[in-house]
A and B are shown apart, each in its own frame.
Chain A
Amino acid sequence: MSGPDDDLWRRLAALTPARIGLGRAGAGLPTREVLKFGLAHAQARDAVHTPMDAAAVAAAIEELGLSTVAVTSAAEDRATYLRRPDRGRRLSPESRKALDAAAEAPVDLALVVADGLSARAVHEGAAAMLAAFKPHADKAGWRLAPVVVATQARVALGDEAGQALKARAVAVLIGERPGLSSPDSLGLYVTFDPRPGRSDAERNCISNVRPAGLSHDLAAFKLGWLLTQAFARGLTGVGLKDESDQLIEAAETPESLAPPV
């Protein structure tokens, strides 16, 4: 249907990402809206079910001059991963051995890139996110463990990985649960003194990292800020409030937040 309201609804629709002013065909949606919704859902489903290409992700990370080690969780496939979150939080026995072997002297930070609920987010954003973060780590002089590339993994898998790699803190870059309009969103979770049994209240989270959300540069700045605070205060979680926004607002341009390379 169209009518005198059309201009008004176009103007109102610009005020929110919500699906308003769609029009209707009787009680139903116009055909174009049914198809748009169906496409968005298809992309979100594909983001959940597309397997992560761990080799390609590792290759892109190694191009940044970082070494990698591939692991899998104790969830052997996607169906198990979705039904058994407890298994996605643990390393498979073989992967635990591989990390124990890869561990050398204690390090400051272990980075874990995990498929989570959106391999697409990792494929499209993980290497670029690490590229934006690396200058912060270099400037701070943090010693890094090999970057862990983890398949069928949940956030808490980083606790066991960080412990195996003898890291003071772990940062997990993970594909977030895809929304209908955000199939490509990464979440960053920081945990000080990682070890199995850490609760979500003991982590800090930076979410919605994607082209249409929080940029890689801003996310890298926040991640660097959180880690600096975590090392200085010896904790993460509810006791560490993310106040980096005040620094970001005070900065004249986003570029001025980046450390010299």
Chain B
Amino acid sequence: MPYRHTVGPRTHVFGDLATLMAKATPIRSGDCLAGIAAGSAEETMAARWCLAEVPLKEILARPLIAYEDDDVTRLILDDHDDAAFAEIAHLTVGDFREFLLTASSATLARIAPGVTPEIAAAVCKIMRNQDLILVARKCRVVTRFRNTIGLPGTLAVRLQPNHPTDDPAGVTASILDGLSFGCGDAVIGINPVSDSLQTMAGLLRLFDGIIARLAIPTQACVLTHVTTTLDAMNRGLPVDLVFQSIAGTQRANASFGVTLPILKEAQEAALALKRGTLGDNVMYFETGQGSALSADAHHGIDQQTLEARAYAVARRYRPLLVNTVVGFIGPEYLYDGKEIIRAGLEDHFCGKLMGVPLGVDVCYTNHAEADQDDMDTLLTLLGAAGCTYVMGIPGADDVMLNYQSTSFHDQLYIREVLGLKRAPEFAEWLARIGLTDAAGTLLPGGAAARLLTAAPDLAA
């Protein structure tokens, strides 16, 4: 059934729900590349008027990809919580926006299992940036492994000590620098150059040793393919978190070499290790708008909606951490600072609304029309929106992946401006070893020498 909206003498017609949602999306290069973006500014607004009138029940009843064709659609519908949905079942997309603006944190937590990714994406498209910030701030998603992530008033940081050759001494040097800035409560997580099990084993033992020697209440992760991590667990290596990149369609996940049964198997294997002391959230997922188009697996659906579908996949496995790598994929998907900022806020909002602990890799590549000023803007907006965590990379310059993200310094900035605290157990540890005062402010001098007890071979 086509959707129609009349503006003066013109009637805009949208062939189906996927088309309507694509045309209603704030313009971005990836949807233009896919040939599904609105052709004019008026068409975008006509689509939003039309989308605002669509009942949430209708979105639920019209899967964008057929149930029998796609296991992500099956996951979305099979996992759907009808009781949670009942509270919002009578609303249109436009009504839902107003409901969200007035809802309490408790209400938002109650309805989260009833919010499908398509519903989250639809309402997102008619919300301004300030709406996305205001509502996301009210959504609290708390997860635990060796500390507590996502409490109100906190922002965690992934310490990302990447190195162009995975050299253990070089990686350790970056970890010590990050710890000295009070980073690493979300995870100490490295993207290795090599995906060999041998490299992974060395890094896992290195991280496990540092965390044990300094008794840091945090967790480690080597971000390799889930099948490599499964292999590592089967060989008895110290795996805290299982990492995997995921996307919003079965075919896109297949292009990553991942299936839902593999994710389940890995989650069960990690749970069986019982390495979490405070909780059992053992999964870490990364996502990003454009990944399905890049894999030629987008089914004519806009990239923001597909991104929200990836969060449905994440939600099933109760992750500790999920982050969108918002500016990494390149300008053919998000062209400039404006598109990256909007997408970062959309992704964070949709994840939180669905009950997923969303962090953001606030980042860009050198061929995007963006710079560190845009990252400052997005980081500040995400801090206001209650973002779960961001990246901490030495000097914001990832020397392995060749992109720019947020730095150890940047998290100090956002804490000072917005008064955001670290995960409480990690904050207590920093105070106990004398790196910070009781309020979490870094104390001058001597930090490195104390941390070097974690790496005796570097002390000489």
Q: Residues on A close to B: CB < 8 A? A: 1, 3-5, 8-9, 12-13, 15-22, 24, 26-29, 33, 37-38, 40-41, 44-45, 47-48, 82-86, 117, 177-182
Contacts and interface: CB of A to CB of B under 8 A. Distances in A.
B332 A82 contact: yes
A131 to B, nearest CB: 27
B28 to A, nearest CB: 10
Contact of A117 (B176, B367, B397, B399): B367
A179 B445 contact: no
A178 B330 CA distance: 12
Most central of A17, A20, A33 by chain B CB within 10 Å: A20
B452 A8 contact: yes
B173 A20 contact: yes
Contacts of B404: 41, 180
Contact of A82 (B170, B367, B412): B367
Contacts of B162: 18
A84 B176 CA distance: 42
Nearest to B401: A179
Interface in B47-65: none
Nearest to B171: A16
A13 B413 CA distance: 23
Nearest to A78: B367
B413 A27 contact: yes
A24 B409 contact: yes
Given A16-B163, A20-B177, A37 B366 contact: no
B362 to A, nearest CB: 15
A110 to B, nearest CB: 26
B173 A8 contact: no
Contact of A18 (B170, B365, B371): B170
A15 B366 contact: no
A28 B409 contact: yes
B360 to A, nearest CB: 19
A177 B364 CA distance: 12
A177 B330 CA distance: 10
B161 interface: yes
B458 interface: yes
Nearest to B170: A16
A82 B177 contact: no
B413 A15 contact: no
A180 B366 CA distance: 8
Nearest to B29: A83
B366 A179 contact: yes
Contacts of A83: 29, 32-33, 331-332, 335
Ranked 10 nearest A-B pairs via Cβ: A19-B395, A179-B402, A16-B170, A27-B412, A20-B177, A44-B366, A12-B173, A18-B394, A3-B445, A15-B173
Interface in B148-163: 161-163
Given A13-B173, A82-B335, A180-B404, A5 B446 contact: yes
Query: Interface centre among A9, A18, A29, A33, by most B CB within 10 Å?
Result: A18
Given A86-B33, A180-B404, 19 more contacts: A4-B446, A15-B172, A17-B164, A17-B399, A18-B394, A19-B395, A20-B395, A21-B177, A22-B394, A29-B407, A47-B366, A48-B366, A82-B367, A84-B33, A117-B366, A177-B367, A178-B366, A179-B366, A179-B403
B372 interface: yes
B409 A5 contact: no
10 contacts: A4-B445, A9-B177, A15-B170, A17-B163, A17-B170, A17-B399, A20-B174, A27-B409, A47-B366, A180-B366
A5 B174 contact: no
A17 B174 CA distance: 10
A135 B266 CA distance: 51
A22 B409 CA distance: 10
Contact of B174 (A16, A45, A47, A180): A16
B308 to A, nearest CB: 24
Contacts of A82: 331-332, 335, 367
B254 to A, nearest CB: 14
Contact of B397 (A3, A27, A84, A180): A180
Given A20-B394, A82-B335, A5 B33 contact: no
A246 to B, nearest CB: 16
Contact of B449 (A4, A28, A84): A4
Contacts of A182: 402
A136 to B, nearest CB: 27
Nearest to A7: B448
A179 B407 CA distance: 16
A117 B163 CA distance: 23
| Best-surrounded residue of B32, B33, B170, B449 (most CB of chain A within 10 A) | B170
Contacts of A45: 366
A27 B395 contact: no
